[in-house]
Chains A and B, each alone.
Chain A
Amino acid sequence: MAVIEQPATLTAPARPSVWGRIAAVLALLGRSRVAIAGLILVGFWVVLAIFADDCIIRPACWVGGGSDGTVVSTPWLARYSPFEQFRGRNLEGPSADHWLGTDRNGRDLWARIVQGSRIILVLAPISVLIALAIGGTLGLIAGYFGGQIDELLMRVLDALMAFPQILLYLIIIAALGPSAVNVVLAITIAGAPGIARLVRSLTLDIKTRDYVAAAQTRGESPWYIMFVEILPNARGPIIIDAMLRVGYAVFAIGTLGFLGLGLPPPSPDWGSIVNTGRKFIQAGHPWDALWASLSIASLVVGLNLLADGLSEELGRYR
């Protein structure tokens, strides 16, 4: 007679702690040389952006005081203020004083590049997060309710996606004027439809699972099911997609700055540094354009390598 062994206690599989999961992701990254290269590039800029000046220990400049000169921060890694003009030192090449040289107003290029990384590394994730919130909600609604709502939403989003993104940026910035808020708005509007599509297709799939049916039987509200049952189970592809989108957003912010539609001067926006700097290339001063181009190229490449390596490693274990 067979005796079925009863386990003494039923224990739920231990849920790894937050640190445990971060460690697991890092271990995953460590296996891919591509991802490590990406991590180094991105990490370089993140460290520079955080420790550019003492803003991290002075909350006064978090609320917008840092850029217009009302709150004077003490530069750390940036070495100088990005707005300080050194008399008689216009358009200089790299030297011991000014590592990357100076621009036409005698401002230190290293300081401007480093402060520029902060702008781009703040704006890009913010715009992706807002686009995620809007696009994710729309996608959940379209996928979960289906029918007429789905049809209508998808038609509108298709029309938005038919726009080449650059035109969307141009029209929005032309109508509203160049500013940090409008740049974020433009990137959000351009990015949300793509996210909505992805989330919708994931929702359509997850909607048919048993646990959703169980929640429906329990009488949970549609919003609870969408955000508590469906969304967390769709997070994998959404996160990979969002990482790629941060890369696109950096790309877009740089492009807008280059076209003169980004942050207004004197803010040290990489794209606008290239835009003003390219006029001095023929005059034998390529440094502005060169450094800013290198910076944005390395950051976007880093972000792409990171996303690429991560999705490849994840795909291998799926």
Chain B
Amino acid sequence: MITFLLRRAFYLILTLFAVSIGIFAMSEIAPGNIAINSLGNTITPAQEASFNAQNGLDQPAVTRYIRWMIGSDWRAAGLIGYPVRQIYEADLNRWSWWGALPDGTLFQNYTDDGENMIRVERLADGSTRDVPLGPEVWKTDAEGFPVFWGVDREGRAAMWVRGDDNEAWTLGKSTWRSSKGAPRAYIPLQKGLLRGDPGVSFFTRRPVAETLVPRLMNTLLLAGIAFVVVMPLALALGMLAGLNEGRFLDRLLSISSLVATATPEFASGVFLILIFSTWLKWLPGAVVVTSDTAIFERPQMLVLPIITLTLIELGYVLRITRASMVEVMRTNYIRTATLKGLPQWRIVTKHALRNALMAPITVIILHVNWLIGGIVVVETLFGFPGLGRYVMEAALFKDVFAIEAATMVLVVIAVGTQLVADLIYTYINPRIRYT
């Protein structure tokens, strides 16, 4: 049993590793230019090169993968000679990276002429003061150039070369700004996905995690309610159909569940909106969230999204339950029970139920993959601010770090539930062999 679990967990990690490489390869290495996607197709080659350097996109794929997974701050700290730290600046409402001197003072660096490095020290009240550094800070690197590693004013680890007039392009509010004396090389600072920091969105320029976490909570709420509605309903109806095999009730339930499941979510959602919102005017046809608690203040907003999700999931589970019930009712021990003269309800509840539920319970959990697809569509259709819509919009705007992070979270959920399904299955079916 223990070896079985360990083996499963090992494969889980292996799969996630392969998946993460796949996601990374498809979204970052694949054709399609992140600079042009983020900045528009009017940028000059110099601006593109500068953007790529500042965001570490010119580095080899392996370096970028490691930065995405376990971060780059430790590597930067080694080069700078001081640890780097991420702090939240409340007055500017943003996260930023600073180097930390041994006495705890936070600093960033800049230079105007490529000769005199300036250290900007952050004081306790949030103001800064400039401290000029002497020429001794320039260190000779492996290739013989005098270089200085520090944290630049944008919060990236950066390498300046002495006497360099390198030009950097940054996109300000609306115009491009060119600055002389810019660093030669950058390491964008990031803690890495495994440490809870999947990077900064190219689109919103905010940390991805900041948006992703509340969105995930909203989605879990929606999916959780849908799950709680679907499960008992589908199991009960499936059993009803299975017990009445071949009769009218069975035909009706089977056909209508097939229709419900085959209809794409956006189509059934449109039908529901037209019926309940436009025609009957009972329920709102969109989810409008104005505050964090709006969902709880107007729960009727959630009714149509949940019904849509229910429809698509219901049919599948119902059909599995029905098939499983039909199979169990044909077994010898059920026939024996019938011949003993036990009442029908007793046979069903005492003998058939447990065995008939085995398959559907596993299937329901394995069905999370499908539920995620439904959630993306339903959230888009109803404007629900969840993870599904987030990943969809990230894909539309090619917001690479957001796609990567949201996809990884969803895959972890999908793969994790598969493990849970395995565990539940081995628990309710002791006959399974641990291979």
Contact = CB atoms under 8 A, between A and B. Distances in A.
Interface of A: 34, 155-156, 158-160, 162-167, 170-177, 247, 251, 254-255, 258-261, 271, 274-275, 278, 281-282, 286, 289-290, 292-294, 296-297, 300-301, 303-305, 308
B266 A254 contact: yes
B225 to A, nearest CB: 19
B259 interface: yes
B142 to A, nearest CB: 36
B387 to A, nearest CB: 11
B262 A304 contact: yes
5 contacts: A155-B15, A170-B395, A174-B396, A175-B27, A176-B31
Interface in B304-355: none
Interface stretch (B40-48, B117-125, B169-177, B269-277): B269-277
B369 A164 contact: yes
Given A159-B18, A258-B266, A281 B407 contact: no
Given A171-B27, A289-B274, 14 more contacts: A162-B19, A167-B407, A167-B411, A171-B407, A174-B394, A254-B267, A261-B396, A274-B267, A274-B270, A275-B266, A286-B278, A292-B267, A294-B267, A300-B264
Nearest to B261: A304
B395 A174 contact: yes
Given A155-B14, A174-B398, A271-B266, A293 B271 contact: yes
A274 B373 CA distance: 18
Contacts of A290: 270-271, 274
Contacts of B361: none
Interface in B271-291: 271, 273-274, 278, 285
B278 A281 contact: yes
B29 to A, nearest CB: 9
Chain A to chain B: the 10 pairs with minimum beta-carbon distance, closest first: A293-B267, A166-B373, A174-B395, A159-B18, A175-B30, A164-B372, A170-B395, A297-B263, A304-B262, A258-B266
Given A159-B22, A258-B266, A164 B381 contact: no
B258 interface: yes
Nearest to A158: B15
Contact of A171 (B23, B31, B265, B377): B23
Interface string B371-397: 011001100110000000001101110
Contacts of A175: 26-27, 30-32
A303 B262 CA distance: 9
A281 B269 CA distance: 12
Contacts of B27: 171, 174-175
Contacts of A293: 266-268, 270-271
B377 A259 contact: yes
Nearest to B414: A164
A155 to B, nearest CB: 7
A254 B377 CA distance: 11
B132 to A, nearest CB: 47
B411 A281 contact: no
Contacts of A296: 264, 267
A259 B263 CA distance: 16
Interface residues of B, number: 50
A305 to B, nearest CB: 7
A259 B396 CA distance: 9
A159 B372 contact: no
B403 A171 contact: yes
B303 interface: no
Contacts of A163: 19, 22, 369, 411, 414
Contacts of A177: 32
Given A162-B414, A259-B392, A167 B372 contact: yes
B372 A260 contact: no
A282 B403 CA distance: 31
A296 B262 CA distance: 10
Given A164-B411, A176-B30, A297 B403 contact: no
B224 to A, nearest CB: 17
Which interface residue of B270, B394, B403 has the most chain A CB atoms within 10 A? B270
Which interface residue of A251, A261, A294 has the most chain B CB atoms within 10 A? A251
A275 B266 CA distance: 9
B20 to A, nearest CB: 10
Interface string B78-89: 000000000000
A261 B403 CA distance: 15
B49 interface: no
A290 B278 CA distance: 12
Interface string B8-24: 00000011001100110
B354 to A, nearest CB: 27
Given A155-B14, A259-B380, A162 B267 contact: no
A251 B316 CA distance: 15
Contacts of A173: 395
Given A174-B398, A175-B26, A304-B258, A155 B373 contact: no
Given A175-B30, A255-B264, A255-B265, A165 B377 contact: no
B264 A254 contact: yes
Contacts of B370: 164
B66 interface: no
A274 B266 contact: yes
A273 B418 CA distance: 36
